[in-house]
Amino acid sequence: DQQVKQNSPSLSVQEGRISILNCDYTNSMFDYFLWYKKYPAEGPTFLISISSIKDKNEDGRFTVFLNKSAKHLSLHIVPSQPGDSAVYFCAAQMNRDDKIIFGKGTRLHILP
Amino acid sequence: GAVVSQHPSRVICKSGTSVKIECRSLDFQATTMFWYRQFPKQSLMLMATSNEGSKATYEQGVEKDKFLINHASLTLSTLTVTSAHPEDSSFYICSARDPRRGFEQYFGPGTRLTVT
């Protein structure tokens, strides 16, 4: 049973435009959400996170939005750059000390 | 800082043999290490959590006698896949956490295991 769902396996976005990656979750006990970026043959690297008490967190070109009532979060990247082409994993935890539950990932292609 | 390495990066073994994968934290002490497995186009699935000096805690459905985890030092954890079968072929990734740096998990580059 997939508790963290990324329903888009891939997404293509023109360079300079906004990339929006979506994620849904089923477990209302999740308290902390994370986004990871992964290049081929490398491990995931942490990108940005958000606590359930917030609805938005921004870090440079990356913003994560959380809609608790809809059990939905999204990652916005603006402007998109070629180096953003990677697989993005949405993940969740019940608390910061708990195990991380990952989604299946979305492959983002930034088109020149 | 916070570099985690894995060795080997790729390994091919014959069915029935055992293979060991190492995970090292290079510039910090990892009191807790995690082992994940990722099948093609699937999510990373946590297999087990290991704390230095104690037995690993396995997730439901993961056979502890098949996937032996040792975390004997603060910088090294090993995963041994015993009596490997083709269905064990997967991408194995470890992560490590240093409580002095907070709750962040730092991931290794992964090991591609192919069992023939």
Q: Does B60 touch chain A (CB under 8 A)?
A: no
A72 burial (CB, 10 Å; 0-12 / 13-18 / 19+) is middle
| C-alpha span between A75 and A51 (Å, rounded) | 14
**Average pLDDT of span B10-14:** 96
C-alpha distances in angstroms, A96 versus A100, B70, B99, B102, B111? 9, 24, 11, 9, 26
Distance CA A1, CA A4 (A): 9
pLDDT of residue B103: 81
Check CB contact of A104 with chain B, cutoff 8 Å.
Answer: yes
B106: nearest CA partner in chain A = A45
Q: Does residue B44 sit at the A interface (CB-CB below 8 Å)?
A: yes
Reply yes or no on whether the pLDDT at B1 is more than 70: no
* H helix and E strand count, chain B: 0, 11
Is residue A40 within 8 Å of residue A93, measured between CB atoms? no
Q: How far apart are CA B32 and CA B51, in angstroms?
A: 5
* Chain A residue whose CA is closest to B5: A43
pLDDT at A80 over 90: yes
- Counting one residue from A and one from B, how many pairs have CB atoms under 8 Å apart? 44
Between A105 and A97, residue with greater pLDDT? A105
The pLDDT tens digits of the residues spanning B55-103 come to: 899 999 999 999 999 988 889 999 999 999 999 999 999 999 887 777 8
Give A52 to chain B, closest Cα distance, Å.
16
pLDDT 10s digits, A10-65: 999 999 999 999 999 999 999 999 999 999 878 899 999 999 999 999 999 999 99
- Average model confidence (pLDDT) for chain B? 92
